[in-house]
Amino acid sequence: MKIIIVGCGKVGYALAEQLSEEGHDISLIDTNHDKLEQTLSVLDIQGVSGNGTSFRTQMEAGIKESDMLIAVTGQDEINLLCCLIAKKAGNCNTIARVRNPEYFSEIKYLREELGISMAINPELACAQGIARLIEVPSALDITSFAKGRINLIKLSLPDDSFVHSMTVYEFATKIHTNTLICAVEREHEVIIPDGNTVLQRGDNMYVIIPPKDIHDLLAKIGIKAKPIKTVTIIGGGTISYYLAKHLENNRVKVKIIEMDHSRCERLSELLPKALIINGNATDRQLLLEEGIADTDAFVALTNMDEENLVLSLFANKVSKAKIITKVDKVAFEEVVDDLPIGAIACPKNITAKSILQYVRALQNSFGSNVETLYRMIDDNVEALEFAIKQESKVTNTPLMELNLKKNLLVCAIVRNGKVITPSGKDMILNGDTVVIVTTNKGLTDIKDILA
């Protein structure tokens, strides 16, 4: 597909990189010539220096021949106007990043009137992801599939877990029959397990499981965590607002520490149940006075990655809180992965993954659509949800008889609202929803699971 991306920031760069890797023809538009040139020197894409809201600039980027325009600048109004012009000039699919809560509350109207194919709010999506982690304190990451009927959960096996030295087959038969271990991360190595794979203490384990069974599973494997009733949030930005609003509705006590006095006043109006503290969170004494040692969860959401990392390390040192750290761009991922900073939230990755999912759904065949796409373990593994809409080579045949690609698992089948943990005798049928986990990149159709 030919795709134009407007905006060369963190999200624009991540999108250009990922879509280019998948073989799409990418043109990048940005007003910052130096930043654009720097990006073009790294990525094998085209670029146009100019304003994305300019008809002439879009024409130069090839809007007439493009299949899609994605506007991810830092200003909502520019993104919406870019999409409007692209729709009129090229009649292509358009995606806009819309961050302002006031605009996003009216997004249905804006989409209809401006002809926008998709609108994404990275801050809201990030806040929702953090909220899920707070609801299941033991999880390092949670992603939902099949309209919430299935969760993919990342868990770390504790040192004293009796699951240590157990095979995946023994785990499935002795611990939890309605659970499938779909990936294991061990010392930065990715394992797509079979029944003989042996689990070890310290493994990061990715598990497919219905939401209702999560707490039962955690109890059986010896992972204990008390419910979270108090949350301390550092930084009063948009993500913090969305998260606090969600937590307030679930009767969780929220404390926000924000440096900007006027922002504190605004948050006090928007979040009457939350406690808003005007102060510098890098002040060690302030954090201790505000009860960081006793909080159930600590969420670092400032605009500086380095500050978030240091604050989370301090919280880990002085408390037993569930820790969540916002990290947007860190060059040394291997170092960050080994730090005791809890779960990592990355808005730009959430945005890129959502848009990539939409692009794949557009480009694939009528037979099945990528409904959900999730990348994990440093983007080395993909979990994909396919909606099966017609019969094909993979339907009506027992899984054991299909010649599946290596390093690929059929993890779950949802049929008529019921979740099936598949065995070799199960079949994929027309109308099913199927979850696949694999290290193979770029699957766009269910038939791509075949070797």
Question: Which CATH number goes with the domain that contains 274?
Answer: 3.40.50.720
- The number of domains in the chain is 4
394 and 335 housed in the same domain = no
Q: What is the pLDDT of residue 207?
A: 92
* CATH classification at residue 143: 3.30.70.1450
Q: What is the pLDDT of residue 330?
A: 62
Give per-residue pLDDT as tens, 99-141.
888 887 888 888 888 888 899 988 898 999 899 899 888 888 8
Q: What is the pLDDT of residue 366?
A: 47
Q: What is the pLDDT of residue 4?
A: 97
Residues of the chain with pLDDT under 50: 365-366
> Would strands 180-186 and 189-191 be described as parallel, antiparallel, or unpaired?
antiparallel
Give per-residue pLDDT as tens, 163-219.
889 999 998 888 866 788 999 998 878 999 988 999 998 899 999 988 888 888 888
259 and 316 housed in the same domain = yes
Final residue in a domain of this structure, among 57, 85, 120: 120
What range defines the domain where residue 270 resides?
Answer: 230-345
284 and 206 housed in the same domain = no
The span from the CA of 23 to the CA of 3, in Å, is: 11
Q: What is the pLDDT of residue 365?
A: 47
340 and 359 housed in the same domain = no
DSSP readout, 124-192? HHHHHHHHHHHHSTT-SEEEEETTTTEEEEEEE--TT-TTTT-BHHHIIIII-TT-EEEEEEETTEEE-
Q: What is the pLDDT of residue 32?
A: 94
The span from the CA of 63 to the CA of 47, in Å, is: 13
317 and 366 housed in the same domain = no
Final residue in a domain of this structure, among 324, 345, 366: 345
In this structure, is residue 160 part of a structural domain?
yes
Final residue in a domain of this structure, among 299, 324, 345: 345
198 and 244 housed in the same domain = no
Asked if 186 and 203 touch (Cβ cutoff 8 Å), the reply is yes
Q: What is the pLDDT of residue 368?
A: 57
In this structure, is residue 302 part of a structural domain?
yes
Q: What is the pLDDT of residue 267?
A: 96
273 and 313 housed in the same domain = yes
In this structure, is residue 422 part of a structural domain?
yes
Q: What is the pLDDT of residue 331?
A: 60
193 and 274 housed in the same domain = no
In this structure, is residue 444 part of a structural domain?
yes
Asked if 90 and 58 touch (Cβ cutoff 8 Å), the reply is yes
167 and 101 housed in the same domain = no
In this structure, is residue 40 part of a structural domain?
yes
In this structure, is residue 41 part of a structural domain?
yes
Q: What is the pLDDT of residue 159?
A: 83
Q: What is the pLDDT of residue 410?
A: 94
210 and 246 housed in the same domain = no
In this structure, is residue 350 part of a structural domain?
no
In this structure, is residue 376 part of a structural domain?
yes
337 and 361 housed in the same domain = no
6 and 115 housed in the same domain = yes
